Structure 1
Amino acid sequence: MNRTLTWAATAALALSPLAFTATSTAAPAAHAKAKATAYSVTAKASTDTAIAKETTVKVKGRVTPKAAGQKVVLQQRVGTKKKWTATGEAKVKNNGTYKLTDKPSTPGSREYRVLKPASNGFAKGLSKPVQVEVYRWEKLANRQAVATNVGIAGVNIGAEYYGSSLATTTAGTPSSIEYTLGRKCTSMRATYALTDESVTGAIGTVKVSGDGTTLVDHALAVGTIVADETTDLTGVFRLKIDATTSAAPTAATVAVGTPEVLCTR
């Protein structure tokens, strides 16, 4: 009789609502715990702007749990691309921090993120993306000119050769050239002078303006060289360069030696 009662009690317990509830909630609880076991990764870039082939971007952050000695992977994507590409890796330090570096070679907007692969029972972790705008120095003369009566050629200034330069073609005749930068450039660097072929007594002027605002204004004579001057072009849509020379002597040429602009895509 006692044995029969014991079996009945066991069966009743197995079919009770309480037993069913405990069983049905076990799976979601385990699932929630699995979600919480991914690595946490933070990332911060050393700069939000960089110059292609010049600036080394440093990406630093922390991995939690620390995962000392294990690797983290630097990933990046450029422009509107959807695919992330691995471009470097480093080991996590004993305190959980890491440092990765990248030296971009092309201009444009790019994003970096850091991946900690799965290990030790923890799922992989990804940092939030950080954005860096990359600029590149390019020769102004290689861009499409809007309107011009200025020559593009190599010139000699102070016994040095400057390729891809802008130069007046007719003494005494005002000259100008324009370029559309589209507010994608931040600086220009150039050398301003009369060329070595200009005769003694020749004079000239050169003026650079952005959207009608004068940015550069130099009076020039033989022997006057304004070398490697950098000009801020932030926000400039249309760049214009005006130059004049004295009508006599006729051998007078104003030159903008190898002008370069720092631009992104």
Structure 2
Amino acid sequence: MLLNCDLGESFGSWKMGEDALAMPHIDLANIACGFHGGDPLVMQRTLALAKEHKVTVGAHPSYPDRQGFGRRSMALSHDELLTDIHYQIAALSGMAQVQGLNIEYVKPHGALYNDMMRDDAVLNTVLDAISTYPSELKLMMLATTHSHEHRVLAQAKGVELLLEAFADRRYTDAGNLTPRSQQGSVLNKQQMLSQVHSLVNQGVVITDTGKTLPLEADTLCVHGDNLAGIAAIKEIRALCMP
């Protein structure tokens, strides 16, 4: 299973994540586009790391919310959100082309990702933005019990999906992530490795009610926020190797 990680989220003198340590162990780099994190120099350096380690690059756009790190929902019109996404993809795509790279997919960040998963209007706007962008891009979104319907919707707009699962998050019976406000929503290391093993070998997770839930996932989201996270990525990588 392919590993993806959110990277390039530092800004100016503020550092977020251990990008240089994470990059050698992942397959897909979701790179911030400047609206929640990242700046031109950070983009350039993160793209260079991806090129060095032959990692596929994707755009990681958000609501225009740098102060809130993109974690606050915003009531944008269809056209506002569509053009905000276009702007961010174009920024990263242009920076990538300077280094001979192409953007292959889009993974929304934070509140935009969560809103896309719960609100069909937001999802349709995201799909419209990707389908009207002048290069072929995939959309990365959460694998749930509604993944078939999501694939049908995306195919109608000419967009291919990359369905992702999360290594360290508890799931509900519907295949959604358990809210962080709920106790046990974030798995400890042993639970996380057990969940990865189940996903890779059986294609299932155990939900918060103890049910076995099949999940069709193409990629697994991992986190390189700190040294403990990097160590976890290495162990997850070993579980995902054929």
Q: Into which bin does the TM-score normalised by the smaller protein fall?
A: under 0.3
Larger Rg: 1
Q: TM-score, structure 2 length as denominator?
A: 0.21
Relative contact order higher in (CA < 8 Å, ≥ 6 apart): 2
Q: TM-score, structure 1 length as denominator?
A: 0.20
